[in-house]
Structure 1
Amino acid sequence: MESKNMFFKEAIFLDIEAKSTDDVLDYVYNKLHSLGYVTEEFRAAVKEREKKYPTGLPGPIYDIAVPHTDPDYVVKPFIAVARTKEGIPFVQMGTRDLHLKTRIVFVLGFKTGKYQVKILQTLVDLFIQGTMAEEFMKVNDEDEALELLKNIKIEGN
């Protein structure tokens, strides 16, 4: 499976103004819901899951987060990407109170769990251990962002 099938220009949000985790998730939800990607229940479900199982990941330069929820709330599979103007406090994965200043947020919408682990691992490899975060922070518009993201290959599928 190639991830380019999961990225869509209309699900890339650059330089959004937000002050909190809820602000980012609300913004992305509103856009995705209006486009028919998620159900009305998605917003509450993704927020609840993020509280129980935080998804913030520290990076060498830019921290990322990968909030997601059950496939029941996904209408069409997607990977949405939000780049914020300022660092947003997402709780680091595996902790309860360590807040990261997250600038890149991947909101994942899978219809099955089949590729979820592989996609998560690939995003971590490229954005935390690789240089993709720096490249993503330099893109000027959604077209450039999509071009960068659609070249991500998910190996082993």
Structure 2
Amino acid sequence: MNSLFELDEQLIKLQFEASSREEVTTYLAGRLEAGGYIKSSFLPAVLEREKTYPTGLPLAAFGVAIPHTDPEHVNKPAISVATLKEPVIFHKMGSPDETVQAKIVFVLAISEPSKQLVMLEKLMTLFRKEEVMTKLSHMTSYEEAVDVLQQELNQ
């Protein structure tokens, strides 16, 4: 399979208890850094970018967020995902004055600008699948979460 990015159980945290967007983003970036996917400059760049270009997206059932930054901070492509016990507030993409209660956070480590659009399109397609997203938000099986995400995003 020719995959766009790496995704394994080490990059996923289910039912995470985070109190802020910074906490969940820091945790997921830590997972990426431990796996060698990103450079140490990634997290500060993501947090800074989020201030100017927020990534919260309201969906039908709940919100999601897709924090990411420039490819120069990435060693190899991957996605780190957290489902949250309780949503955290992200500012809304395109409308920074509005907020989104994000229940799932996808930290994107994209190494090639040409693949960023492809990945965002795949995520948007997934986000429109309300049943899959709701199922994902309640999962407790890491194996099942990896299977669903691989099936939806890496085809």
TM-score (norm 1): 0.90
The SS at the match of 1:100 is strand
Aligned residue pairs, count: 155
Distance 1:2 1:24 in 2: 29
Q: What are the ranges of 5 or more consecutive residues in structure 2 without an aligned counterpart? A: none
Identity of aligned residues (%): 36
Conserved? CA contact 2:65–2:104, under 8 Å: yes
Conserved? CA contact 2:110–2:116, under 8 Å: yes
Conserved? CA contact 2:55–2:90, under 8 Å: yes
Q: What are the ranges of 5 or more consecutive residues in structure 1 without an aligned counterpart? A: none
Structure 1 residues 91 and 146: alpha-carbon distance in aligned structure 2, compared to 1, 3 A threshold: same
Report runs of 4+ in structure 1 exceeding 4 Å deviation.
1-5
What are the equivalent positions in structure 2 for 1:5-154 lying under 5 Å apart?
5-153=5-153
Distance 1:44 1:75 in 2: 16
Aligned partner of 1:114: which letter? Answer: S
TM-score (norm 2): 0.91
> What is the root-mean-square deviation of aligned Cα atoms in Å?
1.9
Deviations 1:5-61 (A, max 9, x none): 432221111111111111111111222212211111111000011111011110010
The SS at the match of 2:36 is coil
Distance 1:114 1:106 in 2: 19
Aligned partner of 2:119: which letter? Answer: I
Conserved? CA contact 1:39–1:74, under 8 Å: yes
Structure 1 residues 153 and 18: alpha-carbon distance in aligned structure 2, compared to 1, 3 A threshold: closer
